[in-house]
């Protein structure tokens, strides 16, 4: 069987990436991430989830978590890793949605949220003034989460920032408002 120079080069990149060579991992990502994303897109419509899966695949390659000793078919190998990661993430997401559904059913419909209770007992001028004193970034996430009812993921997608940043901003904004209004 004749050796394929491109296949050998890809296998060399995988070996180098596993040994911590950042450039090799970047080259693998550049070569294969668009292809892998397009293939996985046929199985999942959630583009945010797909981005996470593709990123996890290449992190697994780089950290050596992705196993496989005889890597002659790099695209096939990456595809198998991607499929498993996608399935795992979809299962976790499904479990999370089921849990939220159960918790939602358990919560009495007449129960008000903490934000609603504070807003009901607060003179609107005082609350408006406190909101205006927040930075634009904090006011933006509070408006979207409390008043708009959006999830952290929806806010992140709308603002084009990571979910972790949204969570941090919401937490800080709530703390600032609580300090100011108490």
**Is 109 part of any domain?**
no
Give the whole-angstrom CA distance, residue 65 versus residue 138. 38
Q: 129 with 60, same domain?
A: no
Tokens (6 digits) for 30: 């550049």
Are both 97 and 118 inside the same structural domain? no
Q: Which of 89, 86, 178 is nearest to 138 (CA)?
A: 178
Among 104, 135, 153, where does a domain finish?
104
Residues of the chain above pLDDT 70, percent: 78
pLDDT (0 to 100) of residue 39: 93
At 112 the pLDDT is 61
Does 146 lie in the same domain as 77?
Answer: no
Which of 104, 131, 157 lies at the terminal end of a domain, its last residue? 104
For the entire predicted model, the pTM comes to 0.49
* Helices marked H in 4-113: 5-18, 22-41, 47-63, 74-106
The CB-side HSE value for 180 (13 A sphere, CA atoms) comes to 16
Q: Which of 82, 104, 126 is the last residue of a domain?
A: 104
Assigned domain for 84 exists: yes
Burial of 57: CB neighbours in 10 Å, binned 0-12, 13-18, 19+: buried
Confidence band for 174, pLDDT divided at 50, 70 and 90:
confident
* 45 found inside a domain: yes
* 92 in the same domain as 139: no
Dihedral sign, Cα of residue 68, residue 20, residue 25, residue 12: negative
Q: What token pair was written down for 75?
A: 């695209």
Of the listed ranges 122-131, 147-156, 166-175, the least confidently predicted one is: 122-131
The arithmetic mean of pLDDT across residues 99-115, rounded, is: 63
């Amino acid at each position: 069987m004749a050796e394929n120079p491109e296949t050998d080069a890809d296998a060399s990149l995988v070996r180098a990436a596993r040994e911590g060579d950042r450039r090799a991992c970047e080259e693998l990502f550049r070569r294969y991430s668009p292809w892998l994303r397009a293939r996985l897109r046929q199985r999942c419509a959630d583009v945010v989830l797909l981005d996470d899966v593709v990123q996890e695949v290449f992190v697994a390659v780089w950290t050596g978590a992705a196993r496989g000793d005889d890597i002659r078919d790099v695209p096939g190998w990456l595809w198998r890793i991607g499929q498993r990661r996608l399935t795992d993430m979809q299962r976790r997401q499904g479990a999370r949605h089921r849990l939220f559904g159960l918790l939602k059913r358990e919560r009495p419909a007449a129960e008000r949220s903490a934000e609603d209770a504070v807003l009901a007992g607060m003179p609107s001028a005082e609350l408006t003034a406190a909101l205006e004193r927040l930075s634009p970034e904090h006011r933006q996430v509070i408006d979207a989460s409390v008043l708009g009812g959006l999830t952290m993921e929806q806010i992140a997608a709308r603002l084009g920032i990571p979910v972790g940043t949204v969570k941090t901003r919401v937490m800080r904004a709530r703390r600032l408002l609580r300090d100011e209004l108490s």
